[in-house]
Amino acid sequence: MPCFRALLQARGVGLAFVDGELRFRFVSEALVQLSGVPGTEYEGRTVEEVWSGALATELMPLLRRALEGETLVGTRVSAPLGARSGASQVRHLRVTLLPASLAGLRTGVSLLLEDETSRVDEELALREREEQLRSLVDVSCDGFFLHEGNTILEANRSLCNLIGTTPEEIVGQPFTRWVAPESREVVLRAISRQVEAPYEVTGLRADGKRLLLEVLGRQVSHRGRTVRLAAVWDISARRAAEEASARADTFREQFLGVVGHELRAPLFALQLSVGALQRGGELDEAQSRQVSHMATATRRMERMLHELLDYTRARLSGGLPVRAAPLALDKVVEQTVEEFQSTHPTRRIVTRVEGNLLGTWDKGRLLQLLDNLVSNALRHSPEDTPVEVRLTGEGNNVTLSVRNEGAPVPLEERASLFEPFRRGKKAGGDGLGLGLYIVRQIVVAHGGRISVESGTGLGTRFSVSLPRHAPGF
């Protein structure tokens, strides 16, 4: 009796007894609450009269089978239940029907209804979320699979298409079957260590073709146990493009280096000849002007060749070499400004120097750095505006800045100012676009930093911060 009483009071579980004509003879209070139909409406009425519609349609065949002596346990029925649910609200019920007999005669059926709507709805929502996640994974990677140890538990269609097989053929198989022999140890080590960072492996298609893959693994819960989810990306095309680009870059850098070296000898011969003509003193005014233009052109060529050679060194050797020695940086600035002032007599170059400017640097490289920054400032500023060169020594650092007035550098150009072969839209035809790239390489070789500020009213200022001693000195 206590068990029966507990069953009668169980939440979401309704009990009823119907006679041989399928009329209700007993209905528990829980079933009354579950159905929303008053208890008085059950008395003496048939199942079809009380539960008309889909529920009666579902139950009647089951009740007739129970009247014939068949026991039905846990049969699932989905339909609206009673007035409280409304015609559109479906309830998910688990139905148990027990035939009742007295003296060998069939007297009716005991009916037990268990409401599983909440649990079923949760299962459906969970299944829907799983499908959404699977769809998300499908579009975010080239394929995925679940595995336990070396055994594949599940794989999506995209992965199967990638390796040339089907889900039916792949499930239950060892995944190392689709991994190239040289990559199997890497994969097994990553799994044993539960590595969650992306790593690269060589995969095998069913036809034997090799694929370069990137794999990202995670521990996940699957059907009550912990397994591993592996997302896969085919990076074969990307890697081939990267290698082709790297080969092209290397070829270009080697080609530029060869060109730079091979042109130095004829250029040197040309410079000697021009110098001899200028020193001879036998040229008339027109000839002297032409030779002067030739001298200017050879100096530009020499500068471009030096830039090409420095670019090649920086790219192929990982940076520019530095030969540092004790140096007073203000003397370097003074020498550079004097040279520019003599070649640009109409321009005003202002020098401001303060602090301790002694250190250990490569004089030739810093002369090259200043030459690039000052010539850049003169070229990109109006003739009637000054160029300011400021040098400040404080503590373990020395700061050098070169500022010019005029229009600011466009915002879209600032990010690429120090990239090779990059020239602003307003740049003249002189140079290869390597000057600022080499400036940055010189700064980096000295362990320093370079930055640029540009704006209306400010002009453009390049600032270089150098440690007082170059690395290694």
The reply to whether 136 falls in a domain is no
Pick the range with the lowest mean pLDDT from 248-257, 306-315, 377-386, 391-400.
248-257
The reply to whether 128 falls in a domain is no
103, 228: one domain: no
The reply to whether 131 falls in a domain is no
Are the beta carbons of 170 and 160 closer than 8 angstroms? yes
Domain boundary among 317, 336, 370: 317
The reply to whether 256 falls in a domain is yes
**CB neighbour class for 208 (10 Å; exposed up to 12, middle 13-18, buried from 19):** exposed
The reply to whether 134 falls in a domain is no
In this prediction, residues 230-251 reach a mean pLDDT of 81
297, 351: one domain: no
Domain boundary among 81, 116, 151: 116
Domain boundary among 116, 151, 176: 116
346, 439: one domain: yes
Are the beta carbons of 233 and 137 closer than 8 angstroms? no
Q: Which 3 state secondary structure label does DSSP give 76?
A: strand
Domain of 184 in residue numbering reads as 141-234
- CA dist 50 and 82 (Å) reads 8
Rounded to two decimals, what is the model's pTM? 0.45
Q: Which two tokens stand for residue 12?
A: 């979401």
Higher pLDDT pick, 28 / 256: 28
The reply to whether 127 falls in a domain is no
430, 376: one domain: yes
Grade residue 71 by pLDDT with cuts at 50, 70 and 90.
very high
The reply to whether 270 falls in a domain is yes
Q: Which two tokens stand for residue 413?
A: 């150009």
337, 433: one domain: yes
Grade residue 3 by pLDDT with cuts at 50, 70 and 90.
very low
In this prediction, residues 143-152 reach a mean pLDDT of 90
CATH label of the domain that carries residue 434: 3.30.565.10
Residue 429 is predicted with a pLDDT of 47
Question: Other C-beta atoms within 10 Å of 357: how many?
Answer: 19
Residue 141 is predicted with a pLDDT of 80
pLDDT tens track for 105-136? 888 999 999 988 888 888 777 776 666 566 55
How much of the chain exceeds pLDDT 90, in percent? 34
Average pLDDT of the chain, as a whole number: 83
The reply to whether 64 falls in a domain is yes
Residue 426 is predicted with a pLDDT of 52
446, 355: one domain: yes
Residue 465 is predicted with a pLDDT of 95
18, 91: one domain: yes
227, 259: one domain: no
184, 279: one domain: no
Q: Which of 197, 219, 85, 215 is nearest to 149 (CA)?
A: 219
Q: Which two tokens stand for residue 284?
A: 């008339």
375, 417: one domain: yes
Beta strands in 80-209 (DSSP E): 91-102, 105-115, 143-148, 151-155, 199-204
Residue 203 is predicted with a pLDDT of 92
pLDDT tens track for 199-211? 999 999 999 899 9
Residue 11 is predicted with a pLDDT of 59
CATH label of the domain that carries residue 280: 1.10.287.130
CATH label of the domain that carries residue 162: 3.30.450.20
168, 208: one domain: yes
pLDDT tens track for 345-385? 899 999 999 999 999 999 988 998 998 899 899 988 999 99
In this prediction, residues 319-341 reach a mean pLDDT of 89
In this prediction, residues 175-180 reach a mean pLDDT of 91
- CA dist 282 and 260 (Å) reads 33
Number of domains in the chain: 4
Q: Which two tokens stand for residue 282?
A: 């036998």
Pick the range with the lowest mean pLDDT from 4-8, 46-50, 109-113, 280-284.
4-8
Question: CB under 8 Å to 450, separation ≥6 — which residues?
Answer: 418, 439, 440, 443, 462, 463, 464, 465
Query: Which H helix or E strand runs over 301?
Result: helix 285-317
353, 446: one domain: yes
